[in-house]
A and B are shown apart, each in its own frame.
Chain A
Amino acid sequence: MSLLSVENLTVAYGAITALRNVSLVVDTKEIVTLIGANGAGKTTLLRTLSGLLQPSIGTIHFNGENLSGKSPHLIVRSGISCAPEGRGIFPNLSVEDNLELGAFIRKDSKGIQKDKDFAFTLFPILKERRRQWAGTLSGGEQQMLTISRALMARPKLLLLDEPSLGLAPQVMKQIFSVIQSINAEGTTILLVEQNANMALHIAHRAYVLETGRIVLTDKAQALLNHPDVKKAYLGT
């Protein structure tokens, strides 16, 4: 059985339908990526999975549990943690406070400390800046913080919304290699990306989203060589 299975999901903002009949599965320990252009509905899907939006039709099952209608804070407790797009950090709190808020649902202070140290080994720069206000970090550092903070909840499934957005290529590479090592440690990842090339290189499987519908799905390696994907998303 899959860790996450989404069936026939339709999500609308008022009269505008952003997702139509979307079905996808994510298995334990996979990196699955969802690629698509601006406005394809990628973020809408992640927001629905996090409970910030309610689907008009369709079901979401996670770890044997029906998530439909659950509030966001309970979904985090079920084991889904989201690193939101646009670096939703808390700018007036220190880096360390941000990480601790990521572990809000946990009570094991030793484990939290251990995970904080782990985050600092993933991104040493965060350790240097742990007492700084998060708002003073650079874009790349904020992205690192967002990912680390989402990990602090010890999720079974990590949702990443465009981690490459607005980053320098060097920083982007660093972040993607960390995503791979997080996955190697056993965390399942659903990665939403516009940068199809990077995403397909680290993912196991992929879905292509176009104007609210899933138009293609295959192994990531296969999609890298798919003529349509090449033409539309890889520019080769």
Chain B
Amino acid sequence: MEIRDKILVVEDEKSISNFICTILDANDYKYITAANGKKAYAIISSHCPDLIILDLGLPDIDGMEIIKMVRSWTTTPIIVVSARSREKDKVEALDLGADDYITKPFGTSELLARIRTAIRHTRTSILSKEIAQSGKYCVDGLVIDYDKYRVYIDGVDSNLTQHEFKLVALLGKFAGKVLTYDFIIRELWGSTQKTDNQILRVNMANIRRKIEKNPAQPRYIFTEVGVGYRMIEGD
């Protein structure tokens, strides 16, 4: 028998949790629901779900608190559901350790794609934390060669500087996941300067001019306005 991933849906709006569960059921996932934070917390500690879909606006506990509590003892992937135009919430949730976010209103395929990415990432990162940093990442004509510190587009070296390579490599390592500006800056520069992401963005603009045909219609690295960047995920 195939082992089905168990997903916890934390959502207080019954109609929304209903349709999420219908989607999950139709796509061979097991699901549990929790309508408030306390119940969610109890289920997380007793059932150990493989993934948590978390609405930030719960009646009893702030969603951010739940992320903090869960992250203090487990790496179970968390996908945050939030309304658009609240990009600060998204950034905060991601920085607290949420794995991804999805914006209401969302479609079936978008939700399923996020779930697959999040589950795969925790699996690979547990098995091979180091392997991702060597070898190659290939997607759609783009090759990141971690051993040679080079990025190739359709076989042609794109002449990235060392810094630019580090940025692309980082995004490649977490392909499919949004990385916030703060996270990238901390990883690359080790600096805690919170507000200034201009250098990062200028770097990104330069990279796009080297690896994308049209920097305004990127194929590989996408901007999530107000949040950060996301590298396209390979198959």
Q: Report whether chain A binds chain B.
A: no
Chain B contacts to A: CB under 8 angstroms: none
